[in-house]
Amino acid sequence: LDRLPELVEQAASAGLTVEVEGKPPRLSPGTDLAAFRIVQEALTNVVRHSGSRHARVRLERDGGTLLLRVDDDGPATGADAGGSGNGLAGMRERAAALGGTIEAGPRPDGGFRVLAALPIDVKKAAT
């Protein structure tokens, strides 16, 4: 996640403004890579499937869990704008491999949210 500024720059080159809130805790390399890839895919989905040109990324530690949230304000565009592709499945697989979870879907107030909960200490999550 120390490369998060690079993702923000890439998103900007695609016309997306990204606000980042919070700083990641120290993570194992596997958890760090999974978190990075989840943010990367979530921002790619905003560019591809949302009419919004603005996204928010929030990083927060909750005990032994990294909560990672990516929101956009929508509206969804295109026929496949509900998560029917492989991107969400890949995010879920990455999270599950670490003992974490992904929730993704439309927000009640419009837009779309991806919320990942990843164990910070993978060894503790496996026991």
Write the DSSP symbol of residue 77: -
Report the distance separating Cα 88 and Cα 6, nearest Å.
Answer: 21
Q: Band the pLDDT of 109: cuts 50, 70, 90.
A: confident
Per domain, the residue ranges of the chain are 4-126
Q: Band the pLDDT of 77: cuts 50, 70, 90.
A: confident
User: Considering the entire predicted model, what is its pTM?
Assistant: 0.86
Region at 51 (left for phi over 0; alpha for psi -120 to 50; beta for the rest): alpha
Contact between 55 and 46 under an 8 Å Cβ cutoff? The reply is yes
pLDDT for the residue numbered 127: 41
20-66: pLDDT as tens digits: 999 988 899 999 999 999 999 999 999 988 888 999 999 999 999 99
Class of domain 4-126: alpha beta
Average pLDDT of the residues of the chain? 87
pLDDT for the residue numbered 80: 52
